[in-house]
């Protein structure tokens, strides 16, 4: 049995994140010691490792919830898991296309920059007027908060 701190170290998942996963039901509530300390068994470690790996691959929490439910039924069909993974792959490919478009646009801006005065700076000019971009890269590319 592992304490939450040892579970964190064993899986690389921060303690607040482990508590959050318990709160939203991705990790089942665990038993406690006589001192009221959470204690985790091997299946909890494996489940948390699954969640962490899925998050590293970019899966949304709801997709992970579905995948965990599928994993809990080992005799079920893997078609649903394939569908979820296929959606994630499509999302990754779409992000890659947007990133490639961003890279191409940045390279184009820099290639046309004369490194002279700001008044003549192509980078500033293009950032000021999206119409000067060679392609539409705006959809989902920004980091607006």
Write the DSSP symbol of residue 130. G
Query: Where is pLDDT greater, at 75 or 142?
Result: 75
Q: Is the pLDDT of residue 83 over 70?
A: yes
Provide the CATH number for the domain around residue 22.
Answer: 1.10.1660.10
Q: Could you tell me if residue 74 is inside a domain?
A: no
**Claim to verify: residue 94 and residue 127 sit in the same structural domain:** yes
Q: How confident is the model at residue 139 (pLDDT cuts 50, 70, 90)?
A: low
113: domain range?
Answer: 79-132
Q: Could you tell me if residue 67 is inside a domain?
A: no
**Claim to verify: residue 15 and residue 55 sit in the same structural domain:** yes
Q: Could you tell me if residue 49 is inside a domain?
A: yes
Q: Could you tell me if residue 137 is inside a domain?
A: no
**Claim to verify: residue 87 and residue 43 sit in the same structural domain:** no
∠ Cα 71 77 82 (to 5°): 80
**Claim to verify: residue 55 and residue 95 sit in the same structural domain:** no
Sign of CA dihedral 122, 127, 132, 135: positive
Write the DSSP symbol of residue 141. T
pLDDT digits (tens, 9 = 90+) for 44-56: 999 999 999 999 9
**Claim to verify: residue 55 and residue 96 sit in the same structural domain:** no
Q: Could you tell me if residue 139 is inside a domain?
A: no
Q: What is the count of structural domains for the chain?
A: 2
**Claim to verify: residue 10 and residue 49 sit in the same structural domain:** yes
């Amino acid at each position: 049995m592992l304490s939450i701190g040892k579970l964190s170290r064993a899986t690389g998942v921060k303690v607040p994140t482990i508590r959050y996963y318990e709160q939203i039901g991705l990790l089942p509530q665990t038993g406690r010691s006589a001192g009221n300390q959470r204690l985790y068994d091997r299946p909890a470690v494996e489940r948390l490792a699954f969640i962490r790996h899925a998050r590293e691959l970019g899966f949304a929490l709801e997709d992970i919830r579905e995948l965990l439910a599928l994993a809990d039924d080992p005799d079920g069909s893997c078609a649903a898991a394939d569908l979820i993974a296929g959606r994630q792959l499509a999302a990754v490919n779409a992000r890659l296309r947007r990133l490639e478009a961003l890279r191409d646009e940045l390279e184009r801006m820099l290639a046309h920059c004369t490194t002279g005065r700001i008044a003549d700076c192509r980078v500033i000019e293009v950032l000021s007027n999206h119409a000067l971009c060679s392609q539409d890269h705006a959809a989902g590319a920004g980091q607006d908060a």
